[in-house]
Structure 1
Amino acid sequence: MRAADLLVDIGPLRTSRDFRAVFLARIVSLFGLGMATVALSKQVYDLTGTTFGVAVSGMIMSVTVLAGSLWGGWAADRMDRRKLILWARASAALAFAGLAVNAFTPEPSLWAVYLCVAWDGLATGVSVTALMAVAPTLVRPDQLPAAGALISLTGEIGSVAAPFLGGILLALSGPGPVFALTAATTAVTTLLLLRLRPLPPVGDDGDEDDTDGDGDRDTGSPLAAFRFAVRDRVVGGLLVLGGINALFNMPVVLFPELVDKRFGGGEVMLGLLYTAPAVGAILVSATSGWITRAARPGRLLLTAAFVGGLAIVGFGLSGSAAVAFAALALGGAAGTVYEILEYALVQHGTPDRLRGRMVSVLTAQGTTGDIVGDVEVALVARWFNPAGAAVVNGVVCAAAAVVVAVTVPGLRGATLPREKEEEAGPDGPPGDPAPAPSPAEEAPRAAAG
């Protein structure tokens, strides 16, 4: 394998104008949101004087993102996804503008903060779900792993750089300017996404009601995604494995206690532990060319899940800060391999008319898994100790990968379309001409630059 083959595959950016717009909008959005997260937690803590108040804002965000994703999944399968995305991003910009106005008042209102957080959570849930649902229509089928790697890379870089920049701006100017900047960046993302062509959901095999080709008629119920997953060997296996990983994955809630009782180093060590998974994830995303070209992505995904579980076990057994950092970095790397391939396999295997609802199911799985998982590992830590709880979680994740590999041969043997020789058009698969924009679309595209 050539060294160039290890680098992240930027093919989707070269061949799809629409994916370039989504990619650039995502970068702008992640930096704005990352800065706002720091400002929001600081402002709520200042207003309440308690960690509980900050936890309430996080809970409100989680619940409303979940609600928005569930409704957004249904809507993404029933209306033009471009319009849905634009309305959702514009609504999020209004939420951040509200946070900025409230922050500039002499006595900011906590209830106004919570209301804006709830509004932004709903809008974010809708937009993220719709954007995920349109991804397979923006690139060729063989480019789905590369698209997932690019999305993962921007997310990991944003998770490291944006909070750091947000902390600097917060220290210099307070929360008001940070929220105002986030509102502006969200508005910019809306303008960038105006460049997307209309993206209505399409039927499969010409049948608008038969979502998976088995004769069942889709009534639009959110449960249709579950019914499809139960029948599909690959997607169903991924949902089972993903659910277990969400519940028993990286036990970040244990970091403060482990730093206090085992590793030492105070706040600096705590920051390093939180950064370690992102370091591994960034290294893998930046060298993900080998992942996107994998001949047996199903086996590679299961291997990554198994290695991720072992990394958590290694973290729990580690007796030094250096070993703990290395184990967490390995876990972050394995998790990124898993996420890239899960993204590609789910998107490729799900019929277009179900993609919105399937994305909402995955979002709900991750959101509820994070919440319940924190409670689970905290309880296990009380029964054993923090290190023992990490070992238990890692063993469960590794064992789940083995069980799924044995019992779901369809996932073990899953494949993806291989790269084609022909060139793709600027907006879609090979041979598809770029759609001519209507006069009504030309004006907003010109305004967006």
Structure 2
Amino acid sequence: MFGTMISMVAVPYQMKELTDSYLAVGLVSLAEFVPMVVCGLWGGAIADALDRRRIIWLSELGLLVTSAALMINAMLPDPQVWVLYVMGALATGVGSLQRPSLEAVIQQVVKHEQQSAAAVLSSLRWNFGAIVAPALGGLMLTAWGTASAYALDTLTFVLSLVLLWRVRAIPPADDAAPASIRSLIEGVRYAVSRKDLMGTYLVDIAAMVFAMSTALYPFLAEELRAPEALGLLYSAAAVGALIASLTGRWTARVQRQGVGVIVAAAAWGVAVTLTAFAPDVWMIFVCLALAGAADMISGIFRLTMWNQTIPPELRGRLAGIELLSYASGPMLGNARAGLMANFGGTRFSLGAGGALCVAAVLALAAALPRFRAYDARTDEHALAEKARRQATTDQAPTDPAQAPA
């Protein structure tokens, strides 16, 4: 994650240097959309059918290749714009194959009552990369160029492959359904039948489509005459998210996670709107940090709902659908941000997007009463999953020598 976040800063920066176009930078995210959708769904299907550790390792190898290709392109006398689009799309596709397996492992190894705490802890992986890495990436880009940033990303993938090699196998259940179109459809039908789950997906998509604006950061730094602050802008949301994670113990006491998601998503939109009126780098940093904290709290509540209510035999496939919700929104949101900035400028794109986000979240809250009324203490799916896990624990062998490896 550390290396990936450096490249996340490097790609739009390099695209801006090569094209000086809002639209070209925004289209990087749009190019990644179709691979994310297709590979995210298929990644969910194979997460339920195959060894999750093997999927994660092979995907990591593929991501190393795409990072190395970006490095080689940046070292050329005349770097090619199309390489940024193609490698961005490939990296997104491979990462989308991997993500459902990463998400499904949490439910597999963590107790039911500890899922909320696990959601807080899992956010630290993202925060670790998202705070220090963008700042370092911004300095590397201005001091040594984009090739150095991609080189460091490539090196971090080599290290992660070594570490992942030491993880033991995480095989599927004996009766796991094989990966197929039919199994994908089964997962989609289950998701659609759960209005509370649909609420978590739709609210997050709306929030990201209307208020995600990271594609604007290179232009915002230039307008502020502070190009060295680019990494700071990318790190701001992660700083807020880290604070929310470290102080997030209170989220385990919340039982109305649906309402929690609604309030947090609306707060995200308000914070982005305020960013449009911030006069300097530090005020923008504060607004983006508040947005990041709100987004992290929303993510904690959503992950808790998913892991406490979804049957384990469907967890991988539903993780693939979840990936579409929290990954498609930022991609489309950055394309939206670039398009709106093309017509009205950076500040207009930020302010209007944030306001539209709040309106969309409130409209969805009114339209989804089952989601709004969700309560983990009374929800039938949460109670059923809790009972299943308790029964599994009661039937587990008491002799450690009898326990499975």
Q: Structure 1 residues 396 and 202 mapped into 2: Cα distance closer, same or farther (>3 Å)?
A: farther
| Matched-pair contact (CA < 8 Å) for 1:35–1:163 | yes
Supply the distance in 1 between the matched residues of 2:241 and 2:298 (Cα, whole angstroms).
11
1:408 aligns with 2:379: no
What amino acid is the match of 1:415? A
Q: Structure 1 residues 102 and 332 mapped into 2: Cα distance closer, same or farther (>3 Å)?
A: closer
| Unmatched 5+ stretches in structure 1 | 1-29, 210-217, 419-423, 438-449
Matches within 5 A, 1:41-440: 49-51=18-20, 60-61=31-32, 63-97=34-68, 118-166=89-137, 179=150, 181-202=152-173, 220-253=182-215, 264-267=224-227, 272-318=232-278, 324-377=284-337, 387=347, 389-411=349-371, 412-415=373-376, 432=396, 436-437=404-405
Q: Deviations over 1:20-66 (max 9, x none)?
A: xxxxxxxxxx12323445566677778xx434687776655554444
Q: Deviations over 1:211-234 (max 9, x none)?
A: xxxxxxx96343433322221132
Q: Structure 1 residues 297 and 75 mapped into 2: Cα distance closer, same or farther (>3 Å)?
A: same
After superposition, the CA RMSD in angstroms is 4.2
Q: Structure 1 residues 114 and 311 mapped into 2: Cα distance closer, same or farther (>3 Å)?
A: closer
| Matched-pair contact (CA < 8 Å) for 1:313–1:394 | yes
Q: Structure 1 residues 391 and 201 mapped into 2: Cα distance closer, same or farther (>3 Å)?
A: same
**Comparing 133-142 with 184-193, which one deviates more in the overlay?**
184-193
Question: What's the offset of the Cα at 1:152?
Answer: 1.9
Supply the distance in 1 between the matched residues of 2:246 and 2:207 (Cα, whole angstroms).
24
**TM superposition score normalised by structure 1:** 0.69
Question: What's the offset of the Cα at 1:87?
Answer: 2.0
Supply the distance in 2 between the matched residues of 1:134 and 1:74 (Cα, whole angstroms).
14
**Comparing 52-61 with 140-149, which one deviates more in the overlay?**
52-61
Instruction: Tell me the SS of whatever aligns to 2:49.
Output: coil
What amino acid is the match of 1:123? V
**Comparing 334-343 with 118-127, which one deviates more in the overlay?**
118-127
Supply the distance in 1 between the matched residues of 2:107 and 2:64 (Cα, whole angstroms).
26
| Matched-pair contact (CA < 8 Å) for 1:74–1:220 | no
Question: What's the offset of the Cα at 1:236?
Answer: 1.6
What amino acid is the match of 2:328? T
Question: What's the offset of the Cα at 1:346?
Answer: 2.0
Instruction: Tell me the SS of whatever aligns to 1:358.
Output: helix
Q: Deviations over 1:260-313 (max 9, x none)?
A: 77xx45435666544432222121112111123324333322221232233234
Q: Deviations over 1:170-205 (max 9, x none)?
A: 6787766665554443233234334444434448xx
Supply the distance in 2 between the matched residues of 1:380 and 1:103 (Cα, whole angstroms).
29
What amino acid is the match of 1:372? L
Supply the distance in 1 between the matched residues of 2:152 and 2:169 (Cα, whole angstroms).
29
Supply the distance in 2 between the matched residues of 1:259 and 1:185 (Cα, whole angstroms).
27
Question: What's the offset of the Cα at 1:338?
Answer: 0.3
Supply the distance in 2 between the matched residues of 1:397 and 1:145 (Cα, whole angstroms).
26
What amino acid is the match of 2:376? T
| Matched-pair contact (CA < 8 Å) for 1:140–1:429 | no
Greater radius of gyration (CA):
1
What amino acid is the match of 1:414? D
Instruction: Tell me the SS of whatever aligns to 2:182.
Output: coil
Supply the distance in 2 between the matched residues of 1:342 and 1:385 (Cα, whole angstroms).
33
Whichever structure has more helix as a proportion of its residues is 2
Supply the distance in 2 between the matched residues of 1:149 and 1:240 (Cα, whole angstroms).
22
**TM superposition score normalised by structure 2:** 0.75
Supply the distance in 2 between the matched residues of 1:118 and 1:322 (Cα, whole angstroms).
33
| Matched-pair contact (CA < 8 Å) for 1:68–1:122 | yes
Q: Deviations over 1:138-159 (max 9, x none)?
A: 2112222222222222312312
Supply the distance in 1 between the matched residues of 2:12 and 2:366 (Cα, whole angstroms).
44
Supply the distance in 2 between the matched residues of 1:309 and 1:112 (Cα, whole angstroms).
33
| Matched-pair contact (CA < 8 Å) for 2:207–2:358 | no
What amino acid is the match of 1:149? V
Q: Structure 1 residues 106 and 198 mapped into 2: Cα distance closer, same or farther (>3 Å)?
A: same
What amino acid is the match of 2:130? S
Supply the distance in 2 between the matched residues of 1:168 and 1:381 (Cα, whole angstroms).
26
| Matched-pair contact (CA < 8 Å) for 1:91–1:123 | yes
Supply the distance in 2 between the matched residues of 1:384 and 1:43 (Cα, whole angstroms).
23
| Matched-pair contact (CA < 8 Å) for 1:140–1:430 | no
Q: Structure 1 residues 234 and 267 mapped into 2: Cα distance closer, same or farther (>3 Å)?
A: same
Supply the distance in 2 between the matched residues of 1:247 and 1:111 (Cα, whole angstroms).
25
| Matched-pair contact (CA < 8 Å) for 1:235–1:346 | yes
Supply the distance in 1 between the matched residues of 2:65 and 2:330 (Cα, whole angstroms).
28
What amino acid is the match of 2:252? T
| Unmatched 5+ stretches in structure 2 | 384-388
Q: Structure 1 residues 382 and 92 mapped into 2: Cα distance closer, same or farther (>3 Å)?
A: closer
Question: What's the offset of the Cα at 1:137?
Answer: 0.5
Q: Structure 1 residues 229 and 38 mapped into 2: Cα distance closer, same or farther (>3 Å)?
A: closer
